[in-house]
Structure 1
Amino acid sequence: MSDAEFDKIRDQLVLAVLPHAVFEGWSMTALQAAAADLGLDSSVSERAFLAGPVAAVEHFVALADQLMVEDLSSTDMAALKVPERVFKAVAVRLERWQPHREAIRRALAVLALPGNALAATRVTCRTIDAIWRAAGDNSHDFSWYTKRATLTAVYTATMLYWLDDSSDDGADTLAFLRRRLADVGRVTQMRRKVEGWFSRGRRPGAPHRR
């Protein structure tokens, strides 16, 4: 079996495990049940994820990143302003996984374990980068880091809000996301003003010299 074929099996397994993860968590028991649902030998789940459940969670998040980009393919992102592009990317992502919030909560619990800190950092960085790239960001200067650090805070807060959102179709979560992005926009505008003042040798509030 080629690597590409085995990757497809991994994709199928992490999707099939979602209903089982609600009750069993992201465990080998849940992965074996997913393999059985697909008509595969239970040993396949072990060979697919040699590092155990955390590897399955990492693969799931990577697949979610890929599907987010595919879901956005029908959207004319170029016609939107950058904040709307970011909003659209996150909204599309949350909409796809709305029926599986509890399974995703259990996935986050795996990443929250002390021994999985590096995996948690990896998947978060990849997801944030995928969102920014989907939004058309190709920066290579210091703003590359600041944009991703800022969005990490917004995305993490939004995910936590979404997990407990009982509103229809996650409407409250989308409103929360809009508010957080608006807050970031206001801070960014103020930072640019301050940078402009100092670049012209002026202090904020200092009188203008004629």
Structure 2
Amino acid sequence: MTELKTQLLDAALMHVPFDGWSEAAFRAAVADLGADMTAARAACPRGALDLAVAYHKRGDAWMLERIATEDMSGMRFRDKIAAAVRFRLQAIDDKEAVRRGTTLFSLPHHAPEGAKLIWGTCDAIWTALGDSSDDINWYTKRATLSGVYSSTVLYWLGDDSVDHQATWDFLDRRIDNVMQIEQIKAQVRKSPVLSKILAGPTWLASRVKAPGRRPPSDLPGSWAAPRD
């Protein structure tokens, strides 16, 4: 993030609680800095939307710093995931800015950007925790965590419990739900009858590979050609 963009973000945060991530907030930030509007537009072509994206990514960066400095060696993996989500929420110093961002990214024309940001956060968590999956699990892990993270953020926005303890309890329950699903999947794989029924979908899923395997000009993900 450029220095001007950082300054604009910091200045805009004073106005977001009142004006949202809007053109008014962007113009107010430019005015507060006494910055040139042309330069501001060059740094943020989409105005406040770019600042909202930058604010989210700043939180991701703080989360990654926390993960890197915390000793989680003795934790179960599901607890590491819960801790990472908790670190991400604790990186937020302005709940109203997130609430306004949720409103912004719920708009149909900004929803794809919001989904991309959530996916990016969850990808950052899995990568930081050492995920090495290179198949369809790469996608399912991030998709599942995206659901957990999104629902936890919404719960957190309305949580007024001491130290957000209700949110952390909610997060633990959602992760427990995911673990139950994984247990069911494991039982299905062990069943000879169900394994035969799902042989086709299982083979198809085995062909999907993580994005790192794709050709540069291909779409996200790749297809593993069957061997002779």
- When normalised by structure 1's length, the TM-score is 0.83
Structure richer in helix, relative to its length: 1
Q: Distance in 2 between matches of 1:36 and 1:201?
A: 64
Structure number with the bigger relative contact order (C-alpha 8 A, sep ≥ 6) is 1
Alignment partner, residue 16 of structure 1: 11
Asked if structure 2 preserves the Cα contact closer than 8 Å seen for 1:32 and 1:42, the reply is no
Tell me which amino acid in the other structure corresponds to 1:10.
Answer: K
Distance 1:12 1:92 in 2: 24
Q: State the match for 1:88 in structure 2.
A: 83
Structure 1's consecutive aligned runs of 4 or more residues displaced over 6 angstroms after TM superposition are 199-203
Q: Secondary structure at the match of 2:68?
A: helix
Q: 8 Å contact 2:152–2:167 — kept in the other structure?
A: yes
Aligned partners of 2:21 and 2:48 also within 8 Å: yes
2:112 aligned residue:
118
Q: Which residue of 2 aligns with 1:76?
A: 71
Amino acid at match of 1:13: L
1:172 to 147, 163, 166: 166
- Say whether 1:48 aligns with 2:33: no
Q: 1:74–1:201: structure 2 CA closer, same or farther, 3 Å change rule?
A: closer
Aligned residues: 196
TM-aligned CA deviation for residue 134 of structure 1: 2.2
2:21 and 2:104 in contact (8 A); partners too? yes
Alignment-mate amino acid for residue 133 of structure 1: T
Q: Is the 8 A contact 1:19 1:103 kept in 2?
A: no
Structure 2: any 5+ residue segments left out of the alignment? Answer: 198-228
CA distance in 2, matches of 1:125, 1:162: 19
CA gap of 1:182–1:34, structure 2 versus 1, over 3 A, is same
State the one-letter code of the partner of 1:106. Answer: R
C-alpha change, 1:27 and 1:200, in structure 2 (3 Å) is closer
Report the residue type matching 2:157 in the other structure. L
- Is 2:88 the counterpart of 1:109? no
Structure 2 CA distance, aligned partners of 1:132 and 1:15? 29
TM-score, scaled to structure 2: 0.77
Specify whether residues 92 and 115 from structure 1 end up closer, same or farther in structure 2 by C-alpha distance, changes over 3 A only.
same
Percent same amino acid at aligned positions? 35
Superposed CA offset, 1:13-62 (max 9, x none): 3233223100010123223333455x441524333211222222122212
Kindly report the root-mean-square deviation, in angstroms, between the aligned alpha carbons of the 2 structures: 2.3
